[in-house]
Amino acid sequence: MVNQVVKNWLDKASEDLAFAKASLQEGLEFYPQICFYLHQSVEKYLKAYIIAKRLDFKRIHDLTELVQICMENDQKFNKFYETAKLLSPFYIGTRYPDFIISINKSNAEKALQATEEIASFVKSKLSLQ
């Protein structure tokens, strides 16, 4: 059974994922914003796992560091380390003019696929599928 705090994190992660996915499917070309929400979704899924497993919770946004924290409990999270490196720049690089990174539809589609894989993996580890 997942406690309410973990459920709240999972619900917010799911909402961010649903928003990004719907925006992409609607053909909206706000790819940086879509990728920002995908980053947020992954961050919240990983934090939900960290909280559920009572690992060292940190208020950080670096997905690679969050994956490393998850790996303290389950080495299988290692398979998402490279994906986390690709998604982490979407936190700042999509929002601030000094750090703008170029993101196109293909980048957003790949980020969506990666986010869905991580979401599925975390939910399976928390016995939610």
Q: Is 0.85 surpassed by the pTM of this model?
A: yes
Helix, strand, coil tally for the chain in percent (to 5): 70, 0, 30
The answer to whether 66 and 18 are in contact (CB under 8 A) is: no
Nearest to 35 by CA among 88, 78, 97, 79: 88
Between CA 24 and CA 60 the distance in angstroms is: 27
Per-residue pLDDT tens digits for 68-111: 999 999 999 999 999 999 999 998 877 777 766 789 999 999 99
Question: 49-71 burial string, b = 16+ CB within 10 Å, else e?
Answer: bbbbeebeeeeeeebbebbebbb
Query: pLDDT, tens digit, for every residue of 13-41?
Result: 999 999 999 999 999 999 999 999 999 99
Other residues' Cβ atoms within 10 Å of the Cβ of residue 21: 17
Residue % of the chain over a pLDDT of 90: 83
The CATH superfamily label for domain 4-125 reads Nucleotidyltransferases  domain 2 (1.20.120.330)
Residue 120 has a pLDDT of 97
Side-chain-side CA neighbours of 26 within 13 Å: the count stands at: 11
| Element of type H or E holding 36 | helix 31-52
